[in-house]
Structure 1
């Protein structure tokens, strides 16, 4: 490794002769137009990803069914307060059917269907 000499932190950086630091660099085609966008910056206006459309999940189900010889599990949640869990194939299938039935009868989901 070679030791480099560093300028003190408070000293201004040197500007090469004939170049003003306030002027834009000439474009590669020599017309003198400055680049509008840096490389890699998208020029198209994209939709705001954080924009909220007002939709919220109300009832959802999480099913884990790993490989053969393991126990499947199911969990059913709803904003109305429902929070059920089942383990084992027979109980998991019963909870999935019950979750579908709940989605058809839950008052929170019925409000959303009427509004739509």
Structure 2
């Protein structure tokens, strides 16, 4: 037909190309493009959390709860305002008593 572009017999640019062996598996990346996973460019300061205090204090009239968990194996929970306040104090005191925290501080002092 006149005025119509000739049809190409090669692969369409929107279709995956075949591998050289002809196995039919599509290429994952263009040639020359690195596909290795690179390390995270955000470097921390070496600190990591070892203890967590989770407090739930729902709306007016509801009963508060709290959980104190440490990687050293300490795991405590409390229900009710008086017990939650006591657990918060225990959690704060544990920061000075935790064997994992003492080891980390000795390493950073050296």
Q: What TM-score, normalized by structure 1, do the two folds share?
A: 0.54
Name which of 56, 65, 69 aligns with 1:77: 69
Q: Which residue of 2 aligns with 1:98?
A: 90
CA distance in 2, matches of 1:73, 1:80: 22
RMSD over aligned Cα, in angstroms? Answer: 2.4
How do 1:1-116 residues align onto structure 2 when only pairs under 5 Å count? 12-13=11-12, 48-49=41-42, 51=43, 54-116=46-108
Question: Which residue matches 2:19?
Answer: none
**1:111 & 1:12 partners in 2: Cα distance?**
63
Aligned pairs, how many?
74
Q: Could you tell me which runs of 5 or more consecutive residues in structure 2 were left unpaired when the two chains were aligned.
A: 1-8, 14-39
Structure 1: unaligned runs, 5 residues or longer: 1-9, 15-46
1:88 to 1:12, Cα distance in 2 relative to 1, 3 A: same
